[in-house]
Structure 1
Amino acid sequence: MLVAAAVCPCPPLLVPEVAAGAASELDSARAACLDAVGVLAAARPDLLIAVGPAGAADQGVHAEGATGSFSGFGVDLRVRLGTSDAGSGRRLPPSLSVAAWLLDRAEWAGAPVEGLGVGELLEPEACLAAGRELAGRAERVALLVMGDGSACRTLKAPGYLDERAAGFDAAAARALGTADVAALKALDARPAHELKASGRAPWQVLAGAADGMEPGGQLLYDDAPYGVGYYVATWS
């Protein structure tokens, strides 16, 4: 059963070594993320599962001990999912590497940690089914859900300016901040993809995990630096 969830953005820039001279620009986002991870720890889960967008080669389960690297972003920094050093033959996708970095930064020492890479085009029903399956993995399950909103909020955004972006992001932030399961279920995959919102599928996995529940939610961060929607929220 799902007992807690934290929603965080997943840009590699969240890692100070990657952001370099611009690191201070995301200080408040980092602080909010660490507060959100603290909510997960307080829930004392039996299992923590990090969920994030992933390319075709990185989709599916990543066992505890799986490693990731930020070398593709010009930084010789490696991370490990959880505290096990058992290792894994699969490398973490960037989103789960950021999750692993957050957990390390928060000095996670609680439940075992696994990862799930989700295809950004995964149909909503499949996302919901995956979430229900995750919620049944243990008596007390917590999710660390990684994903960004639209990347089209400004002219300089990665996806350029799209007038639909602000409305999409406002609806997503409201749903995440109020733990509105129905609203997350209703997110349309097509416009989300067109707006380059990498969080849509992971958020709907969360909605599936919380299906039939009435969790409480809190929005800790909502901003669009670099023209990309970033949110931090907690569910419990």
Structure 2
Amino acid sequence: MSSHPSPTLVAVAFCPHPPRLVTGLEGAGATQDDRLRIACGEALQTVLGLRPDVVLVVGDGPAGVRYGAGDAGDLERWGGSGQQPFAGRVRPGGRSLPLAHTVGAWLLDRAGHDGTRLGVAPGDLAEALADLPGPVGILAMGEGSARRTREAPDAPDTAATDVDVRVAAALGDGDPAALARLDPTGGQGPLAAGTTTWLAVGRALSGRSVTARLLLDGGPRDAGHLVADWLVAEVPDGVPGWLQR
């Protein structure tokens, strides 16, 4: 158990991370993508409006790695040019960001956030929260299913719609317990890359009171993009919820 003071988790923004969300990348600029950017911006303003001391960006990536100032994502991998710093300037020898953290950093830049950022993998979320002493916001980067439509890269999967419907309901209802019940391997068939992120956030907030908004459900082109924001009740004195295992 951590000896650090319990942080106040003020808010969560749930956003997807398709590369084309970043303006200037190959395929970006469609009307549907504009709707997605607007929804993500609105969710982030909910988080940033409460002035968290730290914004935690959680998304798929290697376990045990924490991303910070000087780390960057290579935009050329997704049809762009240059690098997207996670925070501050690109540092020679800095870590290479996964896609989720690259897009998350871009969204934070676009929202005007110049405060402290920390990037982690889903399995490291609880430990990171326990280490932070002050108000924390979370940017949870997670994709819905890529197999919802006939235009999907693989054949449509009826399970894909089921996964997205359940997650959308949990996000809209502010139900961390429902996210915590997700099967960590259940998204592999429907190609739902957000399952581990949603699961980690659900476990971290189980038993907490949440005020929620589902801002976008069902998404552009071939993926089920989900955008939501949560306002979370203050952590009570004593043991944080995410350490009550």
In structure 2, how many angstroms separate the alpha carbons of the residues matched to 1:44 and 1:84?
22
Q: CA deviation at 1:49?
A: 0.8
Give 1:203's match in structure 2, choosing from 198, 204, 207: 198
- What is the DSSP-based 3-state SS (H/G/I as helix, E as strand, rest coil) of the residue aligned with 2:165? helix
Give per-residue Cα distances to partners, 1:179-204, cap 9 Å, x unaligned: 21110011112321111111111112
Letter in 1 for 2:185: R
Unpaired runs of 5+ in structure 1?
119-126
The equivalent of 1:122 in structure 2 is none
Larger radius of gyration: 2
Give 1:12's match in structure 2, choosing from 19, 42, 57: 19
In structure 1, how many angstroms separate the alpha carbons of the residues matched to 2:22 and 2:30?
8
In structure 1, how many angstroms separate the alpha carbons of the residues matched to 2:165 and 2:149?
15
In structure 2, how many angstroms separate the alpha carbons of the residues matched to 1:148 and 1:103?
18
Give per-residue Cα distances to partners, 1:120-161, cap 9 Å, x unaligned: xxxxxxx4xx43323322221111010101111012212320
In structure 2, how many angstroms separate the alpha carbons of the residues matched to 1:92 and 1:214?
33
Report % sequence identity: 34
- What is the DSSP-based 3-state SS (H/G/I as helix, E as strand, rest coil) of the residue aligned with 1:148? coil
Q: For residues 84 and 177 of structure 1, do their structure 2 counterparts lie closer, same or farther at Cα, with a shift above 3 Å needed?
A: farther
Q: CA deviation at 1:63?
A: 1.9
The equivalent of 2:223 in structure 1 is 228
The equivalent of 1:123 in structure 2 is none
Unpaired runs of 5+ in structure 2?
1-7, 232-245
Query: Which aligned runs of 4 or more in structure 1 are off by greater than 6 angstroms?
Result: none
TM-score when normalising by structure 1: 0.87
Structure that is richer in helix per residue = 1
Q: For residues 88 and 105 of structure 1, do their structure 2 counterparts lie closer, same or farther at Cα, with a shift above 3 Å needed?
A: farther
TM-score when normalising by structure 2: 0.84
User: Residue 68 in 1 paired to residue 63 in 2?
Assistant: no
The equivalent of 1:131 in structure 2 is 125
Q: CA deviation at 1:106?
A: 1.1
- What is the DSSP-based 3-state SS (H/G/I as helix, E as strand, rest coil) of the residue aligned with 1:229? coil
User: Residue 78 in 1 paired to residue 73 in 2?
Assistant: no
User: Residue 50 in 1 paired to residue 44 in 2?
Assistant: no
User: Residue 189 in 1 paired to residue 184 in 2?
Assistant: yes
Over aligned residue pairs, what C-alpha RMSD do you find? 2.0
- What is the DSSP-based 3-state SS (H/G/I as helix, E as strand, rest coil) of the residue aligned with 1:79? strand
